[in-house]
Amino acid sequence: MKRPVPFITLRSNHKLAPVKVARLSLLGLLSVVISNAHASGLEYTKQSILPLFETGNYAELTYAYVDPNIEGTDVAGGLDAQGNPIGAGNHHIDDMMDDLHLYSAAIKIAPNDRTALALLYDEPFGVDTLYQAGSEFNNAMGTTEARVDTQGLTLLGGGKVVDNLWLYGGLEYQKAEGFVTLAQQFAGDPIYYQFKTADSSAAIIPVLGVAYEMPDIMLRAALTWRGEGKHNFDAQESLLVDNKTLNAILRTQGPTDYNNIPAGIKGAIGLPEVKFGNTKLGFKTPQSVNLDFQTGLSEEYQLLGMLNARWVEWSAFEIAPHAMTQVVGEPLAEYKKDAYSVEMALGKQFSPKLAGEVRVGYDSGTGEPLSLLGPYDTVKTLALGGSYDLTDALSVSAGAQYMWFEGGKAYSELPIDKSLNERALANFDDGDGYALGVKVGYHF
C-alpha cells in the first residue's frame, strides 16, 4: 500500500495555572484505515487542521509506516447461466493489503497573536489492494488490483473575532488518479476488467471552521467542515470474457473482447449493448466534519485530555464507470452508510522536555456489504506516543498504533437471475495491523 496515519503534535506555551513546566508538548496519532484496511471507505488520514493552532511560527514533517493485514476465503467459482454455483470455492485469500508509506507536512505563519496562516499537505484518500494468486480473484488474464492516490494541499487563514473565539477557512487543492483491475467469475466464465485514468484530476474544496480557546487551562474546541471534492477524469475501460462456446462461435483463441461479441448473442444472454474504451468518469470525495477538543485535566499531575470526533458522508460516494456499471448492474465502488469515528487520548508531561500519551479509537465503518477493494467494517485502535524537545524550538515525536479490523462478507449483484439478488463473493476474517510514525516539529 502506500499510506495511512501521520502524527500530530499538540503544543502550547500556556501554563496550567502556576505550573513549573514551560511547555506541554504532546503527540497525537491519527487513525489508520485504508479503503481496504484503515479508516472507513477510502480514508488514510483525518485531514487535521491542528497545526493552525501551534504557537507562533511553526513547521512540521511527518512520516508513517502502516502494515494492515486482512485475509479470508472466496465462496465459489461463480454462477452458471441458470444462477447455480460453480466450483468448490473456499480458496484462501492471502493478505491483500499492501504496506503504506504516508507523508504529511505543514507550515504555519502568525503575523501576530490574533491572526494565522497555514499551508497543510497530506494524502487523505487512497486504495492499495492486490489479491495474490490462489483465490477466485485471479485467473489466466490477470488479478484483482486497485491503486488510487490522492494528494491534498490546504491553505487556511484565521483570526480572533473576540478574545477567545477563532474563525478560520480556506481551500484545499486535491489531486487524484488511479486504476482498477478485476479478475473474477461472471455467469460461470472468467472475466478480466481494466479501468485506468488517463491523467490526474484536480478539485477545489472549501474548508470552514470555528474554535474556542481558554489558554489558562489549555482548553480548545475546534469544529471544522470540509466540503466534497468533485473530480472528473478521462479514462479507459476494457473487458475480456473467456467463454469456450463463444470463442468457438467467433473462431477466436483465448479471451474475447466484450466489444467483439455480436449484439444478438449479448441480447440472448441478457447483456447490454455497450462499448468499452475511452470514457469519462466523475466522482466526489466525501464531505466531512471534525471536532477536535482538548483541556487540561490536572495541574498537579500535568495531564491533558484530548478527543477527536469525525463524521464522513460515505453514503453519497460511488465510483461508477459507464460500461462496466451497465454490464454488472452496480457501481464499481459504493458505501451503504456514513461513517463516524471517535478517538480519546490522555497526555502527561513527564519533564520540561518529555511528554507522552495513550490513545484509543473506534471507527464505525460503512457497513456490509463490504467492498472487495476495502473488505473491512469497524476499526478499533490503541496507540502510544511520546514527544521530546531537543531544544526550545525543535521537537521530535514518535509513536506506534495497533489496529483491529472487523471482517464480513463481500457481495456482488449479478443481472443473470434477478431472483438471486445478492450473492456472497468472499468471507473476510477479522484482521489486524500496526503503524509506526515519526514527526519533527520546529518553532521559528
What is the model's pLDDT at position 89? 65
Residue 316 grid coordinates:
453519497
Strand order in the sheet with 408-413: 92-93, 72-74, 422-428, 408-413
Instruction: Match 496507540 to its residue by C-alpha cell.
Output: 383
Task: Domain 7-443: give its CATH code.
Answer: 2.40.160.60
Query: What are the residue ranges in the chain where pLDDT is below 70?
Result: 1-38, 76-89, 186-188, 412-424
Q: What is the DSSP string of 125-152?
A: BEEEEEPPTTSTTEETTEE-EEEEEEEE
Residue 291 grid coordinates:
471536532
What is the model's pLDDT at position 25? 40
What is the model's pLDDT at position 38? 56
Q: Is 138 exposed, middle or buried (0-12, 13-18, 19+ CB in 10 A)?
A: buried
What is the model's pLDDT at position 114? 93
Mapped onto helix, strand or coil, the DSSP state of residue 13 is coil
Mapped onto helix, strand or coil, the DSSP state of residue 32 is coil
Q: What are phi and psi of 216, to 5 degrees?
A: -60, -30
Residue 375 CA neighbour count, 13 Å, CB half: 30
Q: What is the pLDDT of residues 44-63, one digit of tens each?
A: 888 999 999 999 999 999 99
Q: What is the pLDDT of residues 90-147, one digit of tens each?
A: 788 899 888 989 999 999 999 998 999 999 999 999 989 999 888 888 888 999 999 9
What is the model's pLDDT at position 289? 98
The span from the CA of 209 to the CA of 219, in Å, is: 17
What is the model's pLDDT at position 7? 27
The answer to whether residues 128 and 34 touch, using CB atoms and an 8 Å cutoff, is yes
The answer to whether residues 405 and 432 touch, using CB atoms and an 8 Å cutoff, is yes
Residue 276 grid coordinates:
468499452
